[in-house]
Amino acid sequence: MAVKYTDEIIEIIKKEYPNCDNKYLAKKLGTTESSLKTMASKLGVKKSNEYMNKIYKKMNKHRKINLENNYKDYKMNDIERNIIIGSLIGDGTLSIYGRSKNACYRENTGTAQIEYRQWKVKMLKRLDFKTNKYGSIYSPSHPIYTELYNIFYSENKKVLTEKGLKLLNHPIGLACLFMDDGSLVVNNYKQNSNITLFPQIVLYTQSFTKEENILLKEHIEKTFNIKFTLSKRNDGTKYILKINKRNEIYSFIDLIKPYVSQVPSMKYKVEIENKLIETKSKYENKYKNKNIKIANKYTSDTINYTADEENEIIEMYNKGYRYIHIAKHLNRSYYGLYDKIKRMKIEGKL
C-alpha cells in the first residue's frame, strides 16, 4: 500500500534523506527505497557531499578488498626474488599503469637479449612472467610488486636503500645484475717493450648516486665476500663499480658462473681465459714489435719491498701519482704495487 506523504513525513525526508541510508529511512517511513527516491527527487532533496564521499570511500574499500581477494597468491622463493631484485637494480623497472592499483614488472630490450630474457621468463614462470617477440618481459600487476615499488622507488625514481639491498642475498641475483649491467673487459699495462694484459670486472651502475653505489659495494662485500671498488667514469660525472684485483675477479666469476652458464649467449661474460687469449691475438697483430703477455692468474702477497721503496710509494702516493706511474718508477708490476698499497693502507702507512 502506498504511503501517504504527510507534511510530517515530508519534513523527515527533507531533514534526514541527505545524510541517511535509504534502506534505513524507507523502513522507518514504511515505504520502499524506490518510492523514497522518487519523493526525494520531486522535493528536490539530494544526498549531501559528505554522505556521498563516505559512500565512495566505502565502495572503494570494498572494491580493493575484492580485488585483493581475486589476486593469485604469489609467494616468491629465494631464487625468484633474487632474479627480480638483481634485474631491478639492472635493467628492470616497476611501474603502476593507468587505473591499476598495483605495480607490475617490466623489462624492455633489443632482440639481441631475447635468449637471456627467455631464460628469466622460464625461471619466473610460476609468477606468470611472459615475453613478447621483441624480447620484452612483463609480469601481472600484483601487490607483491607494489611492495617492491615502495622499497625501490622514491618520487617515481629508482633508488637503492639498505632495506632493498638486503633482498639481494643469493648469487643468482648478483649474476642477473652482472648479465644486465656488467662487463668483463681486458685492460693493459705498458712498460718499455712489454704489454701485459689483465682482466677487469665492471658494473655500470652510473644511474645511481655515489652514495647508492657505496651502499651496493658494501652490501656485495658483506653478503658475498666480493670486493668491488668505487670508480669515477672517464667523463668524471658518474660512478661505477669495478674489480681490479685478479684474485677477486676469479672469485666473482666462480660465484656467478653456474647461473650465467645457463644462458649460452651470456657465457662470453665469464670466460676469462678465452677473452684474454682473443685480446692477446689482436694485440700481437696490432703491436708486432711488442712483447704481449697475460698477467698471472693470482698475485703474490709475499713480494718484499725495501724500506726505501715503501718511502717512495708513500711520497708519490701522497703527491697524487697514479698507481701505474708508481709501478713504472719502481719497475714493479701494476698488480703487485696495487696489492702492496692496499696492505700499506691496512697497516696504517698510507
What's the sign of the alpha-carbon dihedral 319, 322, 328, 333?
positive
Set of cell numbers at residue 151: 622499497
pLDDT in the model for residue 65: 46
First vs last C-alpha separation in the chain: 99
Across the range 63-87, mean pLDDT stands at 78
Residue 104 near residue 141 (C-beta atoms within 8 A): yes
Residue-averaged pLDDT of the chain? 87
pLDDT digits (tens, 9 = 90+) for 121-155: 999 999 999 988 787 899 999 999 999 999 999 99
Q: Residue 57 in 3-state DSSP?
A: helix
Residue 26 near residue 36 (C-beta atoms within 8 A): yes
Residue 336 near residue 302 (C-beta atoms within 8 A): no
Of residues 31 and 157, the one with the higher pLDDT is 157
Comparing 99-113, 152-166, 328-342, the range with the smallest average pLDDT is 328-342
Across the range 185-208, mean pLDDT stands at 90
Strands 239-243 and 229-232, sheet pairing:
antiparallel
Residue given cell 625501490 in the structure block: 152
Residues 105, 124: Cα–Cα separation, whole Å:
12
Set of cell numbers at residue 127: 609468477
Residues 27, 46: Cα–Cα separation, whole Å:
19
Residue 330 near residue 345 (C-beta atoms within 8 A): no
Comparing 22-31, 88-97, 222-231, 328-337, the range with the smallest average pLDDT is 328-337
Q: Which of 9, 2, 73 is nearest to 43 (CA)?
A: 9
- The answer to whether residue 200 scores a pLDDT higher than 80 is yes
pLDDT in the model for residue 21: 87
Number of CB atoms found within 10 A of residue 105's CB: 24
pLDDT digits (tens, 9 = 90+) for 255-300: 999 999 999 999 999 999 999 999 999 999 999 899 998 887 655 4
pTM check: above 0.85 = no
Residue given cell 718511502 in the structure block: 311
- The answer to whether residue 32 scores a pLDDT higher than 80 is yes
Q: Residue 291 in 3-state DSSP?
A: strand
pLDDT in the model for residue 300: 46
| Domain covering 176-294 assigned CATH 3.10.28.10 in the classification | yes
pLDDT in the model for residue 236: 63
In this chain, the answer to whether the domains covering 78-169 and 176-294 adopt an identical fold is: yes
Across the range 192-217, mean pLDDT stands at 93
pLDDT in the model for residue 27: 85
Name the pLDDT band for 93 (thresholds 50, 70, 90): very high
Residue 198 near residue 105 (C-beta atoms within 8 A): no
- The answer to whether residue 302 scores a pLDDT higher than 50 is no
Q: What does the H/E/C string look like for 111-123?
A: HHHHHHHHHHHHH
- The answer to whether residue 167 scores a pLDDT higher than 70 is yes
Domain boundaries, the chain: 7-70, 78-169, 176-294, 307-346
Residue given cell 684485483 in the structure block: 245
pLDDT in the model for residue 63: 57
CATH topology of domain 78-169: Endonuclease I-creI (3.10.28)
Number of CB atoms found within 10 A of residue 229's CB: 12
pLDDT in the model for residue 2: 59
Cβ neighbourhood burial of 270 (10 Å; 0-12, 13-18, 19+): buried
Kind and range of the H or E run holding 132: none
Residue 35 near residue 15 (C-beta atoms within 8 A): no
pLDDT in the model for residue 303: 54
